[in-house]
């Protein structure tokens, strides 16, 4: 099996990056990905994304399919599919993500997350969502959580939620996003899914192809929770290798 070069950048506004005041809407964030591909001089890479990275990967593929060879999304429902499920309370999806309305509050969420108590709760948001007890890489979780030492460290990530909600509520922005969705994804697309994800419904996620405008290959991982890379990195690596080298299965 040939090897692959992997680039794993921090997203805009996350600890370890600059903290710009704006640019947390999905249009700017997906433009960031396009700019990174250009800056690295990569020709049509395979784009892999999880959670918020997965949401951006879906939207990026609608906008820039010509820039990538394949799309791999890990435990992230297509954003249009997810929003519809939240509005229609499909498979209780509305109640699976209770932190979203809390994140709409000004200043308090980022302040709280940067306190010792907030960091403990943030750590629990990882460890309580593992598919099998003891499977999660808690040392890496601790390292990730330790990065949120001051409100500015959490403001960017929380602004992703604020801007996405704003995009849904502001008619002009919502129409702009709907126009993006109207262009089908044109690259082979795989959705890898830890089946014990309690935050995002697998039943809802399996409808993602309807909104992606393309066939989506469904690759379930039994016994694995939402944070696949922290809990089952070997299984995830095998799935990505299978996409990179289709002859190997």
Rounded to an integer, what distance in angstroms lies between the CA atom of residue 193 and that of residue 206?
Answer: 10
pLDDT at 42: 96
CA 44 to chain centre: 20
Q: What is the pLDDT of residues 158-188, one digit of tens each?
A: 999 999 999 999 999 999 999 999 999 999 9
- 156: CB partners within 8 A, 6+ apart: 11, 12, 13, 14, 17, 19, 20, 24
User: Which stretches of 182-227 are DSSP H helices?
Assistant: 202-205, 208-212
User: What domains can be seen in the chain, in order of their start residue?
Assistant: 26-106+155-244 (3.40.50.1820)
Q: What is the pLDDT of residues 3-44, one digit of tens each?
A: 889 999 999 999 999 999 999 999 999 999 999 999 999 999
Q: What is the pTM of this model?
A: 0.96
pLDDT at 2: 61
CB 165 within 8 A of CB 172: no
Q: What is the pLDDT of residues 59-106, one digit of tens each?
A: 999 999 999 999 999 999 999 999 999 999 999 999 999 999 999 999
């Amino acid at each position: 099996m040939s090897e692959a070069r992997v680039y794993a950048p921090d997203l805009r506004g996350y600890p370890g990056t600059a903290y710009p005041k704006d640019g947390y809407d999905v249009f700017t964030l997906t433009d960031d990905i396009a700019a990174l591909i250009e800056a690295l001089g990569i020709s049509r890479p395979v784009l892999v994304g999880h959670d918020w990275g997965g949401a951006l990967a879906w939207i990026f593929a609608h906008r820039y399919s010509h820039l990538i060879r394949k799309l791999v999304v890990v435990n992230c429902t297509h954003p249009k599919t997810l929003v519809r499920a939240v509005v229609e309370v499909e498979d209780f999806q509305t109640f699976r993500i209770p932190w979203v309305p809390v994140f709409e509050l000004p200043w308090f969420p980022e302040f709280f997350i940067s306190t010792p108590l907030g960091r403990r709760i943030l750590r629990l948001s990882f460890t309580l969502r593992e598919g099998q007890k003891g499977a999660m890489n808690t040392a890496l979780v601790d390292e990730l959580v330790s990065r949120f030492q001051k409100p500015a460290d959490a403001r960017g990530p929380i602004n992703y939620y604020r801007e996405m909600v704003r995009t849904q509520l502001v008619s002009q922005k919502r129409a702009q996003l709907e126009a993006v969705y109207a262009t089908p994804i044109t690259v082979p697309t795989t959705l890898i899914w830890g089946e014990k994800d309690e935050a995002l419904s697998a039943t809802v996620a399996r409808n993602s192809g309807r909104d992606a405008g393309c066939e989506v290959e469904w690759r379930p991982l039994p016994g694995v929770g939402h944070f696949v890379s922290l809990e089952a990195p070997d299984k995830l690596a095998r799935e990505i290798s299978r996409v990179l080298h289709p002859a190997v299965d």
